Structure 1
Amino acid sequence: MNIFSKVLLNASFYLAMVCLILPQTLQAGEQKWIAKADLAVMDGKYGEAEQYFAEALKADPESPRILRGLAETKIALKKYQEAKLLIDKILAMSPSNGRDVLVFFKGESQGLEAELVDELVTPPPRTNDNMRNYLDTKGNDPIPHYRLFFKKKGKMELVPQKAVRIKYQGVPRRVYEHIEELNREVNRHLIAAQGSQKPAEMVALKGGCFRMGSAEGMPVEQPVHEVCLSPFKIDKFEVTQAEFQSIMGLDNPSHYSGADLPVDSATWFEAERYCKKLGKRLPTEAEWEFAARGGTTTTFYWGNTVKGKEANFCDKNCVMNTRVESIEDGYAGTAPPGKFPANPHGLYDMAGNLAEWTNDWMDENYYRNSPKDNPPGSHPATAKVVRGGSWESTAGFLRSSNRAAYWPKMRNNAIGFRCVSSS
């Protein structure tokens, strides 16, 4: 579904709900402008919708509903930079469960914190005689109520909807996730507007022999064996989204979007195609480990322990349940390449940030019969080797010898890549 269809779909939904929700949650002026804006969107009159949403925003500058509508309208008008400012404002708000509200009774400027338990409750009318339901219906219609749990009182109450105005706190989780998708959409267009990128910087490695694998690692990392490689060049940094889009167009699959962030979620085939378009290729597994070690024989290329400032892995800010609460590396997700110290070869993020695709198919027993000189990898199998650990990894996955494997068509926001060249 393209962005124009999304805008129309959202407008249809909100217009259908306007009579049920807006009168109780928004001021009269806001209701008027939002209703006009939604109608304009449905008619394809995005310029008018932009003006109406802007008027509504004057009345409530912090409303996620209005900010979202204006952002979607600006996207439809291809005003991506203006949309970005609105989206960033929403993403700066806290996501909520969608039930936390402030309740404003008529004549009161101070809202009461509450949880909205039921949006529509219609208690039966109070009568002394059941026959009145048939003989005297005037003023006897059910009155819609909210069922609210007032946090300070610690008490559940039914409150007539006409007696209060409710204002949602934070951004409902479902809406927040939609805004994150809009953010990725806008960022792709802003990155594309930057145009072509200068060629990626590469580091020339002389090749040579090294001990590949680890006697203390997992069985797939054994046995330790000698490998000798011919000279090759390797990208100094992980491929960024700006670099990726300059070659692949708007097909940027990244979850963590930003021109200077590494491209994530690319399949192995997309990574290979990108490298080939530049006259490069993905590194063999042996080339990758040789480059990562930088001549070291320690567990990590900086030593045998992790203190938290060497690489981007799952620290206290990480959303995964594997996070290390005692360490903070400064990033909850991916970091711009080069924010952590380089290895002895002058290569960045060879441990952490994003794990990286290699050219090899995974064979758990390959080390037992791997050729010594320039091992090309095993025969085709079902999964491609991934190296390096990532922002969602524990420290153990940052080891230079660590091996993992993923289906080549898989998209994973913890996997990126870099390219190599034989010349």
Structure 2
Amino acid sequence: MIWLAGGEFRMGSDHHYREEAPAHDVRVDGFWIDEHPVTNRQFAEFVRETGHITTAEIPPSASDYPGALPGMLQPASLVFTQTDGPVRLDDWSQWWRYEFGADWRHPTGPDSSLDGLEDHPVVHVSWADVKAYADWAQKDLPTEAEWEYAARGGSTGEFVWGDELAPEGKQMANTWQGEFPHRNSMEDGYLRTSPVGSFPPNGFGLIDMIGNVWEWTSDWFADRHAFQLDKPCCAPSNPKGASLEGSYDPNLPDIRIPRKVVKGGSHLCAPSYCRRYRAAARHAQAIDSSMSHIGFRCVVRGPGPGGA
């Protein structure tokens, strides 16, 4: 883990997606944060020691999903699938497949494995899975403010490495090059996840804060930043985001599944579709769901090096 002393920074953005606004000043206390996302190797150790079974490995209960077709109540997770050609970008079902037998050990389906992926970020982990790992490791999940402070690495640029997505043509993170979701030119060398450390660290020495996989945070999601000034003169300290009640999707009033904030974008973020390869970017993720492009990293709050 890497110690960050904390401080004040400008959180959010008024220039991209609505949910990133309003930009506002925030203070966070010092904390330790994992250098890179939790890998398959690390998650496997947790599973060996605890016997944990992930959400994607458990058949959904009919009582939790009234009206679901019986044939759909099987262990499964969402897997990205490239399309054969251009499709409407307002219909995510064109490229996401509910794959029976997909889970953290089988990232693209039941016939896949982790061979050669030991140092890639673990994926297909729900909120319950990442919380169980954090508890086992005696750590926690970062708040959105902690995560964004860490991701920025002291930078005020458009991206955490500066103001150009690919300075002098160099790919700085695992994202999508080409036309999403049917053509990835793989200028960064990867179609899906990449081994942690494949791209330069940010200014704090942290790896893969942008791209590769989205990362869970502990904050409930709201479609605008929720914050309260401690004093009229001062930035809020260690904000915690929205309420559980406020995290439900207003477009799905009959589905009461809370949503957490995920941060950082993934290997599927593309200029032609999802420009969320920025520290300010944020997205909602239902706590009961897992996907092939969402992982996590942990934090520890408390004394810094030497007990300071």
Same fold (TM over 0.5): yes
Matches within 5 A, 1:177-188: none
Q: Which secondary structure does the structure 2 equivalent of 1:366 belong to?
A: coil
Match of 1:412 in 2: 291
How big is the shift at 1:247?
1.0
| C-alpha distance in structure 1 between counterparts of 2:290 and 2:224, whole Å | 26
CA contact (8 A) 1:225 1:367 kept: no
Q: Structure 1 unaligned runs (5+)?
A: 1-201
How big is the shift at 1:385?
0.3
Deviation readout 1:324-370 (Å, 9 max, x if unpaired): 54x61001111110110000000000000001000001012334546
Matches within 5 A, 1:311-322: 311-315=173-177, 321=181
Q: Structure 2 unaligned runs (5+)?
A: 55-102, 109-113, 231-235, 248-257, 303-308
Match of 1:262 in 2: 121
| C-alpha distance in structure 2 between counterparts of 1:314 and 1:370, whole Å | 38
CA contact (8 A) 1:315 1:332 kept: no
How big is the shift at 1:305?
1.9
Matches within 5 A, 1:200-219: 202-219=1-18
Between Structure 1 and Structure 2, how many residues are aligned?
219
Q: CA RMSD in A?
A: 1.9
Give the 3 Å change call, closer, same or farther, for CA 335–304 of structure 1 in structure 2. Answer: same
Matches within 5 A, 1:242-391: 242-249=41-48, 251=53, 253-254=103-104, 255=107, 257=114, 258-307=117-166, 309-315=171-177, 321=181, 323=183, 325=185, 328-367=187-226, 369=228, 372-380=236-244, 381=247, 382-391=258-267
User: Which structure is higher in RCO with an 8 Å CA cutoff and minimum separation 6?
Assistant: 2
The one-letter amino acid paired with 1:310 is M
| C-alpha distance in structure 2 between counterparts of 1:399 and 1:406, whole Å | 17
CA contact (8 A) 1:322 1:394 kept: no
Higher normalized helix content (fraction of residues):
1
How big is the shift at 1:322?
6.1
How big is the shift at 1:321?
1.4
How big is the shift at 1:315?
2.8
CA contact (8 A) 1:358 1:384 kept: yes
Range with bigger deviation, 367-376 or 327-336: 367-376
The one-letter amino acid paired with 2:220 is W
CA contact (8 A) 1:223 1:368 kept: no
| C-alpha distance in structure 2 between counterparts of 1:385 and 1:226, whole Å | 19
CA contact (8 A) 2:38 2:295 kept: yes
Deviation readout 1:380-418 (Å, 9 max, x if unpaired): 122110100111111511011011011011110000000
CA contact (8 A) 1:241 1:261 kept: yes
4+ runs of 1 displaced by more than 6 Å?
Answer: none
Greater Cα radius of gyration, structure 1 or 2:
1
